Amino acid sequence: MDIILLQDVEHVGYKHELVTVKDGYGRNYLIPQGLALIANGANKARLKELQRREESMEAKRLGEYQEMAAKLDGQVLRIGAKAGTSGKIFGSVTNIQVVNALKEQFDLDIERRKVQLPDNVKELGTYKMVVALHKEVQPEVTFEVVAE
C-alpha cells in the first residue's frame, strides 16, 4: 500500500514522503492515528503543495538547527544516575533524562523523539548518541553517565 506520511515515523520515513507499507499497518495504524494518508490521485496532487510549504518552513528552521548543532559540537553531556558499586546503574538512561539534561546544561529544547540513544545504556561510562534535528543536521553528541 502506498501512503503519504503526515509526520515523521520511525523506521518508515519522514514527513510528506511517499512510502510503501504493508496493507494492515497502513489501514489499521498509520491512517487511523492521523500519521498518513492513502496515496491516491487527489492526495498526491495535494502532496506537492504540502512539500513546497514545508520546504520553505524548514529552510527557515535549518539555520536554527545548525546553531543548535554548533552549540552541542565538542560538548560532553553529563547525566547522573544511581549506580551500584560495580558500576551498573539501576534501570537505564532514557530519552527523557537526556532531554532534561540538555535543557539544564545547554538550555536547548529538543523533542525526546529526536534523541537516538545507543541500545541499553545500563552502566556508568561514556557513550555517543545522535540528535536528529533535521534530515541534514544530525550531530553526534557524547554523553557521560556518572554516579549521583
Residue 75 CB coordination number (10 Å): 14
Query: Domain 2-61 classified CATH 1.10.540.10?
Result: no
pLDDT band at 87 (very low <50, low <70, confident <90, very high): confident
Q: Does residue 51 have a pLDDT over 90?
A: no
pTM for the whole structure: 0.68
Residue 48 has pLDDT above 90, yes or no: no
- 2-30 pLDDT, tens per residue? 999 998 898 999 888 899 999 999 999 99
Locate the domains of the chain by residue range: 2-61, 69-147
Which CATH number describes the domain made up of 69-147?
A: 3.10.430.100
Q: Kindly give, in sequence order, each residue whose CB lies less than 8 Å from that of residue 141, ignoring residues fewer than 6 positions away.
A: 72, 75, 77, 128, 129, 130, 131
CB atoms within 10 A of CB 39: 18
The winner for highest mean pLDDT among 26-35, 38-47, 91-100, 110-119 is: 26-35
Report in angstroms the alpha-carbon separations of 84 from 34, 101, 119: 44, 21, 20
The reported pLDDT for the residue numbered 30 is: 95
